[in-house]
Structures are given as C-alpha cells and as structure tokens.
Amino acid sequence: MNNNRNIWESYHSWYYNSQVWGGVTYMGVPCLKSVSDMWNYQEILFELQTLFVIECGTYHGGSVLFFAEVLRSISPRFRILTVDINHSIVHDRPRVHSNIEFLTCSSTDPKVSVRVAELRKEYPGPVFMILDSDHSKSHVLRELLTARSVLTAGDYLIVEDGNINGHPVLAGWGEGPFEAIQEYFAKYPTDYERDTTREEKFGFTFAPRGFLRRR
C-alpha cells in the first residue's frame, strides 16, 4: 500500500510540476484541471442526474463548458451558475451557451446565495458545487460557509486544489484548501461525508479530502 502511495505521489508531482494540466483543453477552451478528476466529475453528475451546477472560479471557461455538455446528456433543461470576480478572459464558446449563467462577483458575495436559492426552485434535485477560485485558506473557508447555507442533503461538493502546500505539491505555498477543509470539519464534523471511493478511484486527485457528500 505504501509503495503504491509513493508511486501515485510521484506521478502526481510529475503531472503537476510539469504543468501538463496547463495544456488541457475542452472543445478548444483551456480547462486547467486533472483529466482524471474531470472524468470523475462527469460520472458523479450522471449518477446524481444533476440539473444544476454551481462553479466558483470560471477562468477561461473550459470546465463550465464541459459541465454543460455533460448535463445536456442528462436533460435538455439544466442550468450552470459560474461565478468569478472577472469574466473578461472567458472564451467565446461558453460565453454564448444558453444554459450557462455568469455571475461576476466574489464567490463569497451574498448575491451567490440569493441566486442559488432562486435557481434551486427552477431546477430541483441534487446540486453539484465546485470550489476552484482563490485558493487561500481564509477564502475557501468563507466559500465552505456559503456552501453550508445553500447545499442540502444529497448535494455534492468538490473542493479543488487541496493538493497544494505539500499535499503533495507546492510545498511552502501556504495554507490553502486542504487546511480550510480541516478547519471546517473541526467545527462542523457531521455536515459532509467524504467520498473516499471517488477520491481514490484514479490514484491521485487535485482535490484530496475534497470529494464531499452533504448529509
């Protein structure tokens, strides 16, 4: 087991430090994620039959376009709310997608909770939410508190980039998502169940301890 862990940590470090993920695209749009994580996400979305996704951190828009195409295979009627403080670099392809809604503000702004509550009424069922914006511990903690107010039992939350600050990459980066999850669970230990099966499925993830089912 330890030998396998060392192998996967070595591969993880190579994958991250070589920045192969920086060249990942979806339908020509940059999508700066682990491709195995993205495959996991589409499996989760289909399993849940999700009609509503909340994405915190849009960047170029590759992942929101990916989510839109996955949800299209589930139902023609769905919505994705993607939130960022700046949408100026979003690619044209996701920008004109009729099922994607862009909210330009901080992911911790009260506007997010208000809009999520409105959209939940229109698109019932399990929600999939992903946190991938500012990776500082303080910001992710505030995002987790926002998620606490908008997610209900059966919803699914992904906290990305917990791999930084030595988990196992970018040692010395400073406290980030991993530490935010630790602090949140110390205060609210029963809010979520860790989905370790999903987390461990492909050997490594950019979201360690960040595959969470709302209880």
pLDDT of residue 5: 83
Give the pairing of strands 156-159 and 211-214.
Answer: antiparallel
Q: Which DSSP state fits 31?
A: -
Using CB atoms within 10 Å of the CB of residue 194, give its burial: 0 to 12 exposed, 13 to 18 middle, 19+ buried.
middle
Q: Residue length, the chain?
A: 215
Residue 123 pLDDT greater than 70, yes or no: yes
Residue 25 pLDDT greater than 80, yes or no: yes
pLDDT of residue 90: 98
Model confidence pLDDT, tens digit, residues 71-90: 999 999 999 999 999 999 99
| Euclidean distance between CA atoms 149 and 33, whole angstroms | 27
- The overall average pLDDT reported for the chain is 97
Query: Residue-wise over 45-82: b if at least 16 C-beta within 10 A, else e?
Result: beebebbbbbbbbbbbbbbbbbbbebbeeeeeebbbbb
Residue 16 pLDDT greater than 90, yes or no: yes
Residue 142 pLDDT greater than 70, yes or no: yes
Beta strand spans in 41-78 (E)? 52-56
Model confidence pLDDT, tens digit, residues 27-39: 999 999 999 999 9
* Percent share of the chain, pLDDT over 70: 99
Residue 154 pLDDT greater than 90, yes or no: yes
pLDDT of residue 4: 81
For residue 83, report the phi and psi dihedrals to the nearest 5 degrees. Answer: -120, 130
Residue 3 pLDDT greater than 80, yes or no: no
Tell me the mean pLDDT in the region 154-177: 98
Residue 2 pLDDT greater than 80, yes or no: no
Tell me the mean pLDDT in the region 172-188: 98
Neighbours of 116 (CB within 10 A): 21
Q: For residue 69, which amino acid is it?
A: E
pLDDT of residue 33: 96
What's the token pair of residue 16?
A: 């991250």
Which among 177, 166, 193, 110 is positioned nearest to 141, based on CA atoms?
177
